[in-house]
Structure 1
Amino acid sequence: METNAPIQNHEREIFMDALRGFAILGIFIANLNFLSHYRGSDDAIGPWLLKGSDDAMSFLHHMFIEGKFYSIFSLLFGWGIALQIKRGLAKDVDALPVIKRRLRIMLLLGAMHLLIWIGDIVFFYALLGFILLPLRKFSNKTLLITGVILILSPILLYWLKMTFPILNYPAQLLYQTGDNVSEQLAGINDQTKRMDFLEHASWFDHLKRNIAGFFYRYGYLFFVSRIPKVLGMFLIGYVIGRSDFYKNLAQNKKTVYWIIGLGLLIGLPANFQLAQYMSAPGDAYFDLKIEGWYETIVYALGVVPLALAYVGILMLVFQKTIGHKVLLLVSPVGKMAFSNYLMHSLIGNFVFLGAGLGYLGQVGPVYYTLFAILVFVFQIILSTIWLKNFQYGPIEWLWRSLTYKKKQVFRINSNQ
């Protein structure tokens, strides 16, 4: 199936959808550690907890999943913005007003998702999208250098917070605000009450508590320096989209091989060490200990290279007949990624919270990984069937309709 001709736009869109679907599977597995409220193998009592195997699976998650898939999703976000701008230029239309309106709708939808689950990334991406837009004016070289600097910057930022604790004040303020709001709205003021709340609260009580969750979420994002990490990937993705790197893959294969080679050479040992630090007892990272700085270093050096290696491998796989067919199966999930991402939160809440099935803390990494894969297979089937009848996923349709201030055609072969 390989060709030296430029890749057609339709094929590029299918690949991006497949990559997006691949990314949300990894994000779901990573998020299940929080959605399931898994407490670690020391409390391993129950049919869905496997002490030794859960520890091993958790290590593999840290090594191969932690950070890699939100990095890919961030890359795709910047890539997508670049393509929207290019399409506007091709039609001699200023795409910026529509993009900005699209980002504002993202803020609204992300805020609503935060009320369902505090781990939302949509609101965060929309905020950073407004920062990306003015940066687009710089050259590709400048954007790539800036992206790399931003991705590595948490090393310096963590050291500064270790040395000057006052710099952690924004995160502390957000955490404290979260505590105050949580106590006022949900009556939670310690860990014991929190667990009791998760086990016995109603859905409405959870919604109220998630208002406080907004402050916890952004306190966490400030603490872990997620802003420069994600913005850096936005910039790299923007360059990929603007330069037509993937469209001209045949001419760029040598670069892809270098990205894969260096990504594996640097990424695998760095992420192995990252998994060692993340699996160690204690909480050195959040206590601003020296081990936390070492963890930050290997994270910065390892996560993005390995994520880019994943992308490069999938680029090459997609050019092969068998790989193309396999990724084609995944692409419907990515085409309606927002709807499927929201579904993950709804399913996670229903399965694990006491207001639902109540499997809170009762499922370890082995079984929740299998659970994620089963949900993903279900989403492949559901998304494929859905897109045979509808133009977009339900959330994508709402997003698009609000963006263009006009009800979009929803059903295939329909004017309604």
Structure 2
Amino acid sequence: MTADTDRYITLDAMRGFAVMGILAMNIIAFAMPEWAYVTPKAYGGLTTENQLSWLLSFIFIDGKMRGLFSLLFGASLTLIVEGAQAKGESAKKIHFSRMFWLALFGLTHYFFIWFGDILFLYASVGCIAFLFKEWQPRQLVKWALIIFGIGLLLWGLQMGGLQVLQFFATMPNADPEIAQQFGKIINSPDFDPNVEKDLALYRGGYWPIVEHKLSEWYAPLTLVLQSITETLPLMMIGMAMKKNGFITGAWAREDYIVWIKRLVPAGLVLSAGLAGGLCAVGYDPVNSVAVFLVWSGIPRLMLTVGYAALLILVIERYSGSALIARVTAAGQAAFTNYLGTSIIMTSIFYGYGFGLYGDLSRIELWPFVFGTWIWMLLWSKPWLVRFRYGPLEWLWRSLARGKLQKMIR
């Protein structure tokens, strides 16, 4: 813990790295048609630069920062429950009040700011994770892996079956009925990148974008169903990590190194293999979606946990540095930084702002990522020197507890 508060520097700093890192992938969805996130073929063409940029992001970043957020959410859930119990408060009341308001923040974010919201997902899954608050670490990890495996199996049967269908449907002497069946699937809206529609929508005004999202009001619920078998296990692992001291830096340095060696190299090799396989088949939609939804799940989980161990060592090694102090502050204000980033990015790229949507290459987006990182690091620490919470953290806490919280230190 830090010297003068009940906060853990490892949690806050890791959250700071995660909120910065997630922008490195989200920037694609902010600035380009949605399918560009899944495959470089959808937008930018198969140039060396575009492919290499996508491959590096897929191997090293994609899903791992979101995974860290999920781990940290589970760890924070346990921390809040323990804090409430220690004070004789109702952990259930506090938790579900927090989740209720987080869900409302998430829906507001989705409908009125950006479609890539994860707050509603976390609030929904967080309500389920609370049921396991008394479980021991070993039990949490065991069932997390079981749920994760069930999710992979269900998605694998669906997407793997589609990949098999594609194989037989595209053979030179394919059965006409099989080819027709596959044609209906591949020409459905689910596999249509529809780049021109995205360009027209997000280069336009504010209200048409809102109306489009309102017409797809079910999308946040769909995301919960699609993601629960990954998000819930990660939260459960994060809960276990808080209980056994992993995520708070209580383990020996050698133990973290062991897990880094076990998970990071293998995870990177598997991710690189999947990326190379997609490159070999020309990033066709079926294989791209299958890798995105299913086959990258295991290496993504490995790298999420491996990155957590690596970051803990880095944070502890440089805990006294000015940079880690600023990253820690960015993590303490991660809620504000996350929503603030959405406001900034949509204002830059959407038509009602500077209208740069679809105009820049993947390489050209990095200055916006670096600029936003600098913004996070510059404002967060001075703000928290004077105030107890980030602006939105204070609002969320006040709403959840039903009274205004003390803000000035």
Please report the TM-score for the alignment, with normalisation by the length of structure 2: 0.82
Question: Does 1:198 find its partner at 2:193?
Answer: no
In 2, the alpha carbon distance for the partners of 1:363 and 1:247 equals 40
What value does the CA root-mean-square deviation take over the aligned residues?
A: 2.9
In structure 2, the CA distance between the partners of 1:323 and 1:151, relative to structure 1 (3 Å rule), is farther
Question: Does 1:331 find its partner at 2:332?
Answer: no
Report the AA paired with residue 232 of structure 2. Answer: L
Report the AA paired with residue 54 of structure 2. Answer: S
In 1, the alpha carbon distance for the partners of 2:15 and 2:61 equals 15
Worse-superposed segment, 277-286 or 136-145 = 277-286
Shift of 1:254: 3.6
Task: Give CA deviations for 1:360-392 in whole Å, capped at 9, x if unaligned.
Answer: 111222121231121111111011222233221
CA contact (8 A) 2:44 2:50 kept: no
Which residue in the other structure is 1:107 paired with? 103
Q: Which one of 345, 353, 376 corresponds to residue 379 of structure 1?
A: 376
Q: Where does 1:14-413 land on structure 2 (aligned, <5 Å)?
A: 14-37=9-32, 40=40, 44=44, 51-115=47-111, 116-162=113-159, 192-200=196-204, 202-219=205-222, 222=225, 225-247=226-248, 249=250, 251-277=251-277, 279=279, 280-285=282-287, 292=290, 298-321=295-318, 324-412=321-409
Shift of 1:194: 4.2
Which residue in the other structure is 2:174 paired with? none
How many equivalent pairs are there?
A: 373
Shift of 1:147: 1.2
In 2, the alpha carbon distance for the partners of 1:9 and 1:299 equals 41
Report the AA paired with residue 114 of structure 1. Answer: Y
Shift of 1:150: 2.5
In 2, the alpha carbon distance for the partners of 1:378 and 1:163 equals 43
Which residue in the other structure is 2:8 paired with? 13
CA contact (8 A) 1:119 1:217 kept: no
CA contact (8 A) 1:339 1:394 kept: yes
Partner-residue secondary structure (3-state), 2:59: helix
Report the AA paired with residue 378 of structure 1. Answer: W
Task: Give CA deviations for 1:5-59 in whole Å, capped at 9, x if unaligned.
Answer: x9879485222111111111121111111110155478659xxxx9432321211
In 1, the alpha carbon distance for the partners of 2:43 and 2:152 equals 33
CA contact (8 A) 1:153 1:228 kept: yes
In structure 2, the CA distance between the partners of 1:76 and 1:43, relative to structure 1 (3 Å rule), is closer
In 1, the alpha carbon distance for the partners of 2:6 and 2:311 equals 13
Report the AA paired with residue 132 of structure 1. Answer: A
Shift of 1:275: 2.5
Worse-superposed segment, 60-69 or 146-155 = 146-155
Partner-residue secondary structure (3-state), 2:283: coil
In 1, the alpha carbon distance for the partners of 2:147 and 2:320 equals 33
In 2, the alpha carbon distance for the partners of 1:9 and 1:73 equals 25
Shift of 1:89: 2.6
Shift of 1:60: 0.5
In structure 2, the CA distance between the partners of 1:272 and 1:373, relative to structure 1 (3 Å rule), is same
Partner-residue secondary structure (3-state), 2:245: coil
In 1, the alpha carbon distance for the partners of 2:313 and 2:105 equals 34
In 1, the alpha carbon distance for the partners of 2:356 and 2:330 equals 26
Gaps of 5+ in 2: 163-187
Shift of 1:296: 5.5
Gaps of 5+ in 1: 1-5, 166-175, 179-189
Worse-superposed segment, 78-87 or 267-276 = 267-276
In 2, the alpha carbon distance for the partners of 1:193 and 1:43 equals 13
CA contact (8 A) 2:121 2:220 kept: no
Please report the TM-score for the alignment, with normalisation by the length of structure 1: 0.81
In structure 2, the CA distance between the partners of 1:241 and 1:398, relative to structure 1 (3 Å rule), is same
In 2, the alpha carbon distance for the partners of 1:159 and 1:328 equals 42
Report the AA paired with residue 270 of structure 1. Answer: L
In 2, the alpha carbon distance for the partners of 1:9 and 1:257 equals 29
Partner-residue secondary structure (3-state), 2:286: coil
Query: Percent identity of the aligned residues?
Result: 25
In 2, the alpha carbon distance for the partners of 1:278 and 1:23 equals 27
Shift of 1:111: 0.9
Report the AA paired with residue 87 of structure 2. Answer: K
In 2, the alpha carbon distance for the partners of 1:70 and 1:233 equals 10
Shift of 1:244: 3.0
Which residue in the other structure is 2:172 paired with? none
